[in-house]
Structure 1
Amino acid sequence: MTEVQSKGFLSRLVHRITTDADDLDAEELENVSAQTGTCKCSNLATGEEVVVSGRLRSVLYTPSERAPALTAELFDGSGSLRLVWLGQRRIPGIEPGRSITVRGRIAKREGEPAVYNPWYELTSG
């Protein structure tokens, strides 16, 4: 139970009124991640196989003669994870604002954690 959840109704109401909307969204995503038992983006280590839940912040197609790729940023409230599908231009349902659970092995892409060609499940959120 988080600190805000353990407080009374008035304290929770004041918290919701005085906290920035982005911070409230991040708290909500972290709570969902904790409830589903998935890994936090802030705790990912290169080489480990993980399951992460969150919301897609951005989706970008990068054309290339070598390896075109569809790249998305997954945010779970604690941090971000890059999802990279090689050879894809578009994947139905992979769009900004969509809730998703992904599974894969953590790699590094430009110094940030990434999962290449992840298994994914679109979720309601």
Structure 2
Amino acid sequence: MSATVESSNATQPVDIATMPSTAAMLLGPDDAPEALLPGPEELDTLTVMLRDHLELLIPEVERQAGQLPKKSTRRYCALACVGEARRKLRLGDGCTPPTRVAVVRKLARCVNALCDHYQNLRAE
């Protein structure tokens, strides 16, 4: 699904087609960390991009989930994912290369999960 939607809480659009492809650069098949590691400069760029993606996705998923009934399982799951993404955003970037890679892969998984929730909630 290739849709660009204007975010109500941000000035930038939510580009739901680009975000998972950015995350895929850091993850192998089935979300496993088997992808080739980027160089240090590219890793810095991807970290910033993923953090920006999360900053755009979090309010959108939260808004969409808030429109569901309070006892909805889909609402609960989406909001739990939002909470997890916020916790991941509080992580530092890491000092050592292995830590930096681990952090950016956690961000990538959060982007994937929020993109899934975003698409599923919009389809409803």
TM range (shorter): under 0.3
TM-score, normalised relative to structure 1: 0.24
Instruction: Point out the structure with the larger helix share.
Output: 2
User: Between Structure 1 and Structure 2, which shows a larger proportion of strand residues?
Assistant: 1
Greater relative contact order (Cα 8 A, min sep 6): structure 1 or 2? 2
TM-score using structure 2 length? 0.25
